[in-house]
Structure 1
Amino acid sequence: MRDAITVARRMGIISRSAQRNRRPTLDELDRLLAHFIDRRQRTPQAMPMHKVIVFALFSTRRQAEITRLTWDDFQKEHKRVLVRDMKHPGEKLGNDTWVDLPEEAIRIIDSMRKSKAEIFPYSPDAITANFTRACKLLGIEDLHFHDLRHEGISRLFERGWNIPHVAAVSGHRSWVSLKRYTHIRETGDKYANWPGLQLATGDT
């Protein structure tokens, strides 16, 4: 039975219940970025959370995956990066997976300094703690860092991308896992000309 459950999870036939559908608004994201940019200007050694947030949104990566990305695994010419130990349902450890990077995510990587082997040399717990504290301070309710992944995937479908194209970015093994997004109809890109992207690609 245990083996059957593992296989079913890998195939996307069964998954966790009570899926979250919380999506950040542009106003909430603007407030978060303004908060972290201000903190960065006052404390230059602080983590550039504004860059991490925008990268998570456009790359659809989880916080743990973001912290494992390395410069050596980034292939700008092919617009892709190797995600080490990607999480998969039913597995404690995932597999190394190449994923496509939207242009916006590449712009964030280009703005990062090559100080260590990792592109984002921070810990997942620190990212979560910073995000949670900021939301509480700003009065943003019920928003989790992982909701940025949901927002990023939803955005791709809203731009009219099909399931295989989105899966190449999100890293989903099973397209069944993306069926929850099929109700989305193409509505354009609300992030087109979003000032937040420009702010996140700056030197701050």
Structure 2
Amino acid sequence: MATIRVRKRTNGSSSYTAQIRLIRDGAQVYQESQTFTRKQTAQAWIRKREAELDQPGAIERANREGATVKEMIERYVLEMEKARALGKTKLATLKAISESYLGQINDQDLNCQILVEYAVWRMGSEGGGVLPQTAGNDLAHLGAVLSIARPAWGYQVDPHAMGDARKVLRKLGYNMRSRERDRRPTLDELDKLLTHFQGILAYRPSSINMLKMTAFALFSTRRQEEITRIKWADLDEAGNRVLVRDMKNPGQKLGNDVWCHLPPEAMAIIQTMPKAVEEIFPYNAESISAFWTRACKFLGINDLHFHDLRHEGVSRLFEMDWDIPRVASVSGHRDWNSMRRRLGMEWTSRLITMNGWPTSCAAVKAR
């Protein structure tokens, strides 16, 4: 027996909960329900599930105690963090998915239709009203979980569900691809930030040296996590290079250790750092991010990320007429197409003179 219950939401829209109950010899042997945004979708699901449950052994398989999306996500996070901590953005996204209604869906029930409905829900006001690119990121992070859940742990996940969902969303006209970020700091913004950091160091010398962190990120093109992982043992001063361990790469993260060339300015900054501990920049990456965010908010600088310094640094090298292989030797890029930005570099001399550094950066004043 199947029924559909209608529930009014606070925004005036309706949801439709389809429920299937199977009775044999006076006893209920199976019950299942799903909630949809359209009545026609709920009716179609009932017809499909009743046909599936009519197959031999279907009820026994349906009664199997599977795992919810939330449980799969929790196991994925647990297993992955044994090797290396996941990024805070990915962790936050997976947690949000697990706490949403999608987190309660069983592995065997997760299909293309449910994934499409989740993406559309996320883009709607009730799901947060996010951009299609953000919904696409949600699916990408969840896809990483699903790609492991079936072969590694035996969960009954449809291997084609995610790929089909993406195709459907494209056909529906949603551009799920992340937009290329082209934000770069202006000279005025860098002036404000460096002056702010200089004032904090003068007032609190034991705080994170964001002056040197900012300058090193610009000149070395390194990400904040990479900077905080660099150890003195990874530095080859004679070769003007540094070993960047576990460099971010879509196809390989763990063990992706890459030797990157250090421009003179970056090497000069390193030479001013005290050798008190193993790490050259003994700071926490999340603390740096929080420090940067607070500074931008205080100074009224909108939409500027610490990671934008990497893009700025790459642009600067191109503007110095470096060719692609030479820039790649610094940035560590494997895909040269991702380094195609060509923008100005007026801030460079200002950054050096503001900190009292010689143009050649033969030495940097220790702080």
State TM-score, norm by structure 1. 0.84
Alpha-carbon contact 1:104-1:197 (below 8 Å) kept: no
- Aligned partner of 1:76 in structure 2 is 237
Greater relative contact order: 1 or 2 (C-alpha under 8 angstroms, separation 6 or more)? Answer: 1
Could you list the per-position Cα deviations for residues 27-60 of structure 1 after superposition, in whole angstroms to 9, with x for gaps in the alignment? Answer: 2112111111111111111110110000000000
Task: Establish whether residue 202 from structure 1 lines up as the match of residue 365 from structure 2.
Answer: yes
Q: Indicate the percent of aligned positions where both proteins have the same amino acid.
A: 55
Q: Note if 1:141 corresponds to 2:298.
A: no
Are 2:260 and 2:331, in contact at CA under 8 Å, matched by a contact in 1? Answer: yes
The DSSP-based 3-state class of the residue aligned with 1:66 is helix
The amino acid of 1:109's aligned partner reads I
- Note if 1:192 corresponds to 2:349: yes
2: distance between equivalents of 1:202 and 1:192? 16
Deviation at 1:93, TM superposition (A): 3.2
Quote how far apart the aligned CAs of 1:152 are.
Answer: 0.2
Q: Specify the code of the residue in structure 1 equivalent to 2:349.
A: A
Instruction: Decide whether aligned partners of structure 1 residues 198 and 88 sit closer, same or farther in structure 2, where only a CA change above 3 A counts.
Output: farther
* Superposed counterparts of 1:29-178, under 5 Å: 29-93=190-254, 95-178=256-339
Q: How far apart are the structure 1 equivalents of 2:301 and 2:345? A: 26
Q: Deviations over 1:104-151 (max 9, x none)?
A: 001110111111100001111011000010000011111000000000
Structure 1 runs (4+) deviating above 4 angstroms are 187-190
Letter aligned with residue 365 of structure 2: G
Q: TM-score, normalised by structure 2?
A: 0.48
Aligned partner of 1:118: which letter? E
| CA displacement 1:140-194 (0-9 Å, x = unmatched) | 111000000000000011111111000000001222322x32xx38x77651363
Distance across 2 between alignment mates of 1:163 and 1:169: 10
**Equivalent position SS for 1:198:** coil
Letter in 2 for 1:144: H
In 2, the alpha carbon distance for the partners of 1:83 and 1:171 equals: 9
Task: Give the SS at the match of 1:191.
Answer: helix
Distance 1:27 1:87 in 2: 30
